[in-house]
Structure formats: C-alpha cells, structure tokens
Amino acid sequence: MVPISRGLFADLLAQGEIFQSRDILRPTYTPSKLPHREEQINNLASILVPALRGETPSNVLIYGKTGTGKTAVAKYVGKELEEASFEDMKCVVIYINCEVVDTQYRILAHLARHFDRDIPMTGWPTDQVYAEFRNALDEEKQVVVIMLDEVDKLVRKGDDVLYNLSRVNSDLLRSRVSIIGISNDLKFTEFLDPRVKSSLGEDEIIFPPYDAEQIREILEQRANVAFCSGSLQESVIPLCAAFAAQEHGDARRALDLLRISGELAERARSTVVTEVHVRQARDKIEQDRVEEVIKTLPTQSKLVLYSIILLEEQGTRNITTSAVYNMYKQLCPLVETDFLTHRRITDLIAELDMLGILHTIVISKGRYGRTKEITLSVYSGKLKSILQQDYRLKDLTNVTVPQQARLGL
C-alpha cells in the first residue's frame, strides 16, 4: 500500500529535527552574553555612561577584523544603554549599516525617518534633509547614539556626512549626539579630513581576533540553544573552531560553518551533524565566497580572467602577463570597451592573486628580465560560467582565440 503524503512540507517537517532555533547562529542575532569581550564591553560602556547624566559621550571608533564581535558588542551595549535610560533623560541608539545605507542623503533621511519625519527617497536638497533631522532631534531632551557599521564604505564616497554629524551638537539646544564608527579597516581614517578625524576618533577600541579555544566556547554557547539535544557529533564544534581560527579568528565564519553544517545534515536526512557535513559546509562557503567576489569584479578584471581562460582552453603552457595582455587587447573591442595599459593589467592580475582567484609565480628569464606565470585557482569551467552571467561579456561566449594572442606575440 502506497503511503499517503500529507503534503510536501508536512513530510519534510516530519523527518526529524536538528535545529531548535537556527537564527541563533546568524550574525544578526545578539546574545545575552558575549564571551571574551568583557574588556571591550566595559570600555564602550564607560565611554557612553555620560549619556545617562545628560552629557555628550565621546565619539568612538571601533576597529577589528571581520568576525571579532564589534557589531555584537556595540548593539549589546546600545541595548543596555537604552534600557538604563529614563524618561527625564532619554537615550536613543540608532544602528545603520553603511554598506546598505551608503550616501549622505540616505544616512540623513534614515535618521530623520527614525524620528517620524517624512523624507522622500530622493529629490530634496541635502541641506533640507539635514535641517529636518536636526529639528527632529531637538524636539525633546535626549542623547542619541548613532552607530555607523562598515563606516569605511561611507568614507569612500566622501566624508561630508561624517563632518556634518560630528558638528551637529553645535546646532542643537536640547539634545546631544554621539557617533560610534565600526570598521574592519584600520587605515580608513587616513582618507578623512583632519577635522573629521580628530572629532570622530576621540576614543578608539580595538577588537583582537579570537583564538580556537575562544571560538569553541562561543560555538558551544550558541549550539546549546540552536540545536536539539544529541544532534551534534562531539568533534563538530572543535572542527568548526579550528577551521575558523585558521581564518584569522573569525567567529562569524565559525557560526556560518556550524549553521550550514546543520542545514546540509538536515537536507541529507541525517539526525546527527558529523565532521563530513562540516567539511562539505566549508567547501560550500568557499565556493559561494569566490563566486560572489567574481560576480562583483569590475569589467576590466573580468576581461583579464576571461583572457586567461581562453589561453588555458587553447592549451597555452606557462601563461605569462604578456600573453594575457595580448589576449585582453583582442577581447576589448568585442565588448566595446577601451583597453588599459600593460602596467595597469599587471596591477589587476596582482589584485586577483590577492583575492585567491588566480596564482602567480615570478620567473626569471636571465638577461630578458622577469615575468609572471599565471594559473587559475578556480576551475576554469565554473569561472567561465560565472563570467558569462555578466551581460557585458555575453558577446564573448563563442569567441575564438586569435593566434597572435595565444602565442603572446
């Protein structure tokens, strides 16, 4: 007798559960306790405590590599500050991710909307948006802490908004503003106007990377709540921690690795997450990362990669920078773009090497100087299919290699 299905999703739900709450393993979740960040939490709290007295806290820059707990600590302390404030001295914390909200207009509009001001997505002069935000701030006595995550992304488009925000207190009568900038880039302040730099960096907090033991404790804390009892093989968490420690102490990567391991086990209809699932998850994350990097490359870098692929397909041995450049010059007219200089293409190849998409070795040719030999670090078939998703490169799908480019002449 054929069993009667209760519906696609009902059958899938009945297969047994691995997760209790997978969202606890996502970067957006802020836990009630943050292991190994007590010093940073106390430092930030001591900087912000004047807000509870109605005074203006110092502006803070928070530095550290990806996955070192910067955003989690800032949000955690911000939440505690709001809860500790009272009606007579209100504290408001506004979090903005500058990778998403990335222009002066959008930042100011986002801040004004937080105070119920109706600002259009575009169309107003920036001065008018700033005035709306400033007036909304000053309607009542309050201290507003503005957290700008990935603040270096904002700086690349100019520091006007940072200048305005760092000076806003001089335009306010009742309220006060403090800025917390969060960045992975220790050097981004070098590009700031000196006045903005001195105002924004009144205090600095550095977040060191986690070691393998610290990452293991973080994973155990989350796993106890995220997974059903008995659904993790004993070696899974130490393995995730070891992999993440190799990646410069990135706890975010470790959490992603653990979550994806669980999801792969779930899809395989396993009741237990094993080391095999962790290794599969690691491969998947690496593939996804490389694919995302390739998709977001500039057109010129994509043409360089396409040139290397075509040279490989024609069986060219010892692919050199000159061979790539000659091929690249043949491709540029086909996609109606101007070609760059040989030196600039050499720089692009070095950048692609740093990203891990290709690998270069400097070879000495005696009195003929030196050259770079290039090999792809990504399977060329996969790389080609990703590049062909770019509509600008669609005309290269059936291109044949000119003999002179293939020989590097």
Binding-site residue positions for ATP = 68-72, 210, 222
Evaluate whether 30 touches 79 at the Cβ level (below 8 Å): yes
Q: Round to whole Å and give the CA distance between 151 and 67.
A: 16
- The helix/strand/coil state of 219 is helix
Binding residue ranges: 68-72, 210, 222
In the numeric block, which tokens belong to residue 199? 């105002």
Q: Are strands 176-183 and 203-207 parallel, antiparallel or unpaired?
A: unpaired
Evaluate whether 370 touches 363 at the Cβ level (below 8 Å): yes
Give the long-range contacts of residues 123-130, CB within 8 A, separation 24 or more.
Answer: 129/105, 130/164
Residues 6+ apart with CB under 8 A from 347: none
Count CB neighbours of 299 within 10 A.
13
Q: Angle, nearest 10°, between helix axes 275-295 and 236-246?
A: 30
SS3 content of the chain, % helix, strand, coil (to 5): 55, 15, 35
Cα 96–Cα 143–Cα 101 angle in degrees, nearest 5: 15
Count CB neighbours of 120 within 10 A.
9
123 forms bridges with which residues in the sheet?
none
- The helix/strand/coil state of 222 is helix
Among candidates 57, 63, 58, 56, which has minimal Cα distance to 40? Answer: 63
Evaluate whether 339 touches 304 at the Cβ level (below 8 Å): no
Q: Angle, nearest 10°, between helix axes 251-267 and 212-226?
A: 40
Amino acid at 148: L
